[in-house]
């Protein structure tokens, strides 16, 4: 099964999609609304597009997802003329010369095969003053393990993980500075938020 079919079949749809009161959504909403000037946001692996609901009117929002089902659901539920939705694989989609102020991966980078290439592409897609925001679950009490890869995720085996220090190393290798690492503790889980900025060339 290829990745697109996998995510279509996984039906990340109505019932298990993130809701407005989800801690990730609330956290992102506060953070994104702290920007005084208008920003452009690319939501990578946007699922049903719920993050679009946190964005003020003066900001641009684009959601991309490999699953056509997710994108048609997003367009159906959250249609607004100012939103742009892309159905495609982030790694291979041609954004032409576009650059964004903010790239957000909410529980999605660990679903992608080639994390190093994803970070390399993200560096190129971000403006020099831009921000990369990664949300993921952390599964051990000291927050050492985080990103799951799809070859271990769901359809091939159950769980494996990459150490937080490895993801930080990869970010540095791809010309990012780590600005902050926060852990949001909820009743059910711990959520890690990493914010990184491109190192200017």
Ligand X SMILES: C[S@@+](CC[C@H](N)C(=O)[O-])C[C@H]1O[C@@H](n2cnc3c(N)ncnc32)[C@H](O)[C@@H]1O
DSSP E strand stretches across the chain? 40-44, 60-65, 83-87, 100-106, 126-138, 176-185, 190-198
| Alpha-carbon 123 to chain mean position | 14
Residues 61 and 55 sit within 8 Å (Cβ to Cβ):
yes
In which residue are the tokens 């993921």 written? Answer: 136
Residues from 105 through 134 that contact ligand X (CB under 6 A) = 106-108, 111-112
* 27 near ligand X, rule: CB under 6 A: no
Residues 152 and 160 sit within 8 Å (Cβ to Cβ):
yes
CB of 190 to ligand X, least distance (A): 15
Instruction: Compute how many other C-beta atoms are within 10 angstroms of the C-beta atom of residue 19.
Output: 8
Question: Is 2 or 142 the residue whose CB approaches ligand X more closely?
Answer: 2
Binding span for ligand X by CB under 6 A among 65-73, 121-129, 159-167, 177-185? 65-73
Among 83, 85, 90, 149, binds ligand X (CB under 6 A): 90
Among 39, 41, 66, 119, binds ligand X (CB under 6 A): 66
Question: Is 59 or 122 the residue whose CB approaches ligand X more closely?
Answer: 122
* 89 near ligand X, rule: CB under 6 A: yes
Which backbone phi and psi does 16 adopt, to 5 degrees?
Answer: -100, 10
Query: In which order are the strands placed within the sheet that holds 176-185?
Result: 83-87, 60-65, 40-44, 100-106, 126-138, 190-198, 176-185
H or E, element range at 124: helix 115-125
CB of 144 to ligand X, least distance (A): 21
Binding span for ligand X by CB under 6 A among 104-112, 124-132, 164-172, 183-191? 104-112
CB of 118 to ligand X, least distance (A): 8
CB of 200 to ligand X, least distance (A): 27
* 91 near ligand X, rule: CB under 6 A: yes
Question: Is 109 or 196 the residue whose CB approaches ligand X more closely?
Answer: 109
Binding span for ligand X by CB under 6 A among 39-47, 123-131, 153-161, 188-196? 39-47
Rg over alpha carbons for the chain, rounded to the nearest Å, is 16
According to DSSP, the residues that pair with 183 across neighbouring strands are 192
Residues engaged in binding ligand X (CB under 6 A): 3, 7, 12, 18, 45-47, 64-67, 70, 89-91, 106-108, 111-112
């Amino acid at each position: 099964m290829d990745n697109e079919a996998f995510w279509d079949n996984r039906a990340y749809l109505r019932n298990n999609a993130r809701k407005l009161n989800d801690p990730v959504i609330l956290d992102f909403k506060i953070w994104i609304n702290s920007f005084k000037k208008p920003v452009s946001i690319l939501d990578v692996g946007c699922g049903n597009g719920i993050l679009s609901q946190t964005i003020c009117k003066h900001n641009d929002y684009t959601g991309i997802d490999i699953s056509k089902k997710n994108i048609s659901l997003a367009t159906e539920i959250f249609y607004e003329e100012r939103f742009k939705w892309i159905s495609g694989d982030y790694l291979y989609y041609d954004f032409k010369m576009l650059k964004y102020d903010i790239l957000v991966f909410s529980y999605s980078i660990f679903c992608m095969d080639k994390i190093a290439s994803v970070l390399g592409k993200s560096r190129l897609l971000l403006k020099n003053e831009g921000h990369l925001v990664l949300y993921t679950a952390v599964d051990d009490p000291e927050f050492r393990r985080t990103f799951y890869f799809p070859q271990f995720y769901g359809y091939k085996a159950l769980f494996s993980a990459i150490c937080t220090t490895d993801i930080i190393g990869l970010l540095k290798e791809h010309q990012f500075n780590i600005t902050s690492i926060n852990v949001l503790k909820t009743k059910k889980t711990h959520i890690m938020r990493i914010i990184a900025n491109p190192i200017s060339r």
